[in-house]
């Protein structure tokens, strides 16, 4: 029987090569324990970059550290949440500061989960899956504790105004750490729904690993989605003083995003109906391609629901679902603006970087490249060989080439010959806008460590795995600590690049059922 399976795999490889796929990796699923699929050869460059990228989550951890491998980091913020009788000591600092912003942190967790669900086998073969799961668990433990009852979610720890006036290490900070929460009377549908999405996605990750933990995550996800939908409102309308940090344009995309993840996590068709029915018609902006980011989940939702469309079984009714087909058509349009040779191609720099925004310019190309790699794999696995962009036709390989071009740009194939992933390659930013990295580990500055902010010297500590904001439109980059626009790293950027690098670990991938 084993010989027969190997022969069938060989025939499949030969068939795909005959169809024009230059290199194919066949996935075989472990049958003993339902483990992740195991791929073939691993691309060493992307594996090394992934190992570096995952270290930034260790750099950003709050609380009592376990098996700490970052020599200049230590325990911090261990009392977070105590004023509410909660343990909010875990979680991760947002960027170069020490605030725990729930909105981008939940998005970070959702993207980590999606990466593991799609590419966990490749990550495991590259010996990096455990690191991803460690980071995910550190965030999910925090988010679970931040949701003490059905209609209450703590969405922030710390005062950003006070925090941004201080330059200090998290281990020595002594400022008050106030808590911010949403309730039925003070809604925040966007952050509640994003947290629901994170919990639903993570429940799928932990389903074969820890069934009890998975069930708890899913219960919280359903409660939070109901809360977000029942008490609608944007959290930055409830707390307008927070709009200068992570202003949510609308909560509508998060509701669709969360319902899509809950559909995959539960199989409950009511969640699919929510996204494809009236709410989808009103909220999804179907037919108009957009760029994926922490603030706009619509492209991610379109790709995620396309998965259901691509792999709909005969007789399921999904293949003929008009709402679902509209999502897939919009996902096609998103892919078309990403392809450089498409008539609808978006602007890119002379160096080849998709360029959408000046601030944190790498977020959109990395997020888009991840979606392109995922979509390419969906096409290959489902047997779809052609993407139509107006009168042009493209193949899955074209999407994968785009994804690889963006990853390679990040890793140093750019006019600056600079790796924007700190710690990878021979040349990378030395003055990342990051408090802990900029101050020697044996120095207690109190709140007044501005001398370390203002010095022209390189950081004494390397913020391993930090993906900085990125270059300007002309491919230039200024490595100065005060250059927040270009030189600050964020955890959600790290989650996006982890997804992109994981998607490129093998030459091509075969998509698996998210619920298996």
List the structure tokens of 469.
Answer: 């904001």
Global pTM reads 0.92
Sign of CA dihedral 451, 454, 456, 457: positive
Catalytic, out of 98, 220, 364, 433 = 433
* Torsion angles phi and psi, residue 381, rounded to 5: -70, -35
pLDDT of residue 321: 74
Rounded Cα distance, 291 and 368, in Å: 7
Q: What is the dihedral of CA 424, 427, 428, 430, to 10 degrees?
A: 120
The pLDDT tens digits for 377-408 are: 999 999 999 999 999 999 999 999 999 999 99
Q: Whose CA is closest to 163, among 178, 149, 150, 153?
A: 178
Residue 515's pLDDT band (cuts 50, 70, 90):
low
Answer yes or no: is pLDDT of 297 > 70.
yes
> Which residues are CB-neighbours of 120 under 8 A, at least 6 positions away?
36, 37, 129, 205
Q: What number of other Cβ atoms are within 10 A of residue 403's Cβ?
A: 25
Question: Where does residue 423 rank: exposed (0-12), middle (13-18), buried (19+ CB within 10 A)?
Answer: middle
231 catalytic? Reply is: no
Cα-based distances in Å from 19 to 8, 16, 264, 512: 16, 5, 31, 21
State which H helix or E strand residue 37 sits in: strand 37-38
pLDDT of residue 316: 58
The strand pairing partners of 154, in sequence order, are 181
- Chain mean pLDDT for the chain: 91
pLDDT of residue 322: 77
The strand pairing partners of 153, in sequence order, are 182
Q: What number of other Cβ atoms are within 10 A of residue 51's Cβ?
A: 18
Answer yes or no: is pLDDT of 7 > 70.
no
The pLDDT tens digits for 202-248 are: 999 999 999 999 999 999 999 999 999 999 999 999 999 999 999 99
Cα-based distances in Å from 85 to 142, 213, 224: 14, 22, 20
Answer yes or no: is pLDDT of 508 > 90.
no
User: How are beta strands 100-101 and 37-38 bridged, if at all?
Assistant: unpaired
The pLDDT tens digits for 189-212 are: 999 999 999 999 999 999 999 999
Three-class SS of 459-485: CCCCCCCCECCCCCCCCCCCCCCCCHH
Helix, coil or strand: residue 351:
coil
Three-class SS of 174-200: CCCCCEEEECCCCCCHHHHHHHHHHHH
Answer yes or no: is pLDDT of 37 > 70.
no
Sign of CA dihedral 12, 13, 18, 22: positive
Q: Whose CA is closest to 245, among 82, 360, 366, 109?
A: 360
* Torsion angles phi and psi, residue 393, rounded to 5: -125, 135
């Amino acid at each position: 029987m084993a010989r027969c399976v190997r022969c069938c795999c060989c025939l499949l490889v030969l068939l795909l090569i005959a169809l024009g796929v230059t290199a194919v990796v066949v996935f075989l699923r472990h049958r003993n324990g339902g483990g992740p699929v195991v791929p073939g050869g691993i691309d060493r460059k992307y594996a090394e970059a992934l190992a570096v990228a995952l270290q930034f989550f260790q750099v950003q951890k709050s609380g009592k550290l376990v098996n700490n491998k970052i020599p200049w980091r230590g325990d911090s913020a261990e009392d977070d949440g105590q004023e509410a009788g909660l343990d909010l000591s875990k979680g991760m600092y947002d960027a170069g500061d020490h605030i725990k912003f729930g909105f981008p942190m939940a998005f970070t967790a959702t993207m980590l989960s999606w990466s593991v669900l799609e590419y966990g086998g490749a990550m495991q073969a590259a010996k990096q899956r455990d690191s991803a799961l460690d980071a995910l668990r550190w965030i999910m433990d925090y988010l679970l504790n931040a949701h003490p009852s059905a209609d209450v979610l703590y969405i922030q720890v710390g005062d950003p105004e006070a925090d941004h006036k201080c330059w200090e290490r998290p281990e020595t900070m002594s400022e008050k750490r106030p808590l911010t929460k949403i309730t039925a009377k003070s809604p925040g549908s966007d952050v509640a729904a994003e947290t629901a999405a994170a919990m639903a996605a993570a429940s799928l990750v932990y389903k074969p690993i820890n069934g009890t933990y998975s069930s708890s995550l899913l219960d919280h996800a359903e409660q939070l989605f109901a809360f977000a939908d029942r008490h609608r409102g944007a959290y930055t309308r409830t707390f307008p003083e927070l709009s200068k940090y992570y202003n949510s344009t609308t909560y509508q995309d998060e509701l669709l995003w969360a319902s899509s993840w809950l559909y995959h996590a539960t199989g409950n068709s009511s969640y699919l109906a929510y996204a494809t029915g009236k709410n989808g018609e009103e909220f999804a902006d179907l037919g108009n391609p957009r760029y994926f980011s922490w603030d706009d989940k619509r492209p991610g939702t379109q790709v995620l629901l396309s998965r259901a469309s691509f792999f709909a079984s005969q007789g399921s009714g999904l293949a003929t679902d008009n709402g679902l087909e509209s999502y897939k058509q919009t996902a096609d349009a998103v892919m078309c603006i990403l392809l450089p040779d498409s008539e609808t191609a978006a602007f890119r720099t002379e160096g080849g970087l998709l360029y959408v925004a000046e601030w944190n310019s790498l977020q959109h190309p990395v997020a888009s490249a991840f979606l392109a790699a995922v979509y390419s794999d969906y096409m290959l696995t489902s047997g779809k060989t052609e993407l139509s962009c107006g009168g042009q036709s493209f193949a899955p390989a074209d999407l994968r080439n785009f994804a690889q071009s963006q990853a390679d740009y990040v890793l140093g194939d750019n006019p600056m010959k600079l790796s924007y992933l700190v710690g990878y390659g021979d040349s990378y930013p030395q003055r990342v806008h990051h408090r802990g990295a900029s101050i020697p580990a044996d120095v207690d500055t109190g709140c007044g460590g501005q001398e370390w902010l203002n010095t022209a010297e390189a950081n004494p500590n390397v913020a391993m795995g930090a993906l900085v904001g990125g270059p300007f439109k002309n491919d230039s980059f200024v490595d100065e600590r005060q250059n927040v626009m270009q030189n600050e790293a964020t955890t959600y950027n790290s989650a996006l690049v982890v997804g992109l690098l994981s998607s490129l670990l093998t030459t091509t991938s075969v998509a698996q059922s998210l619920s298996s």
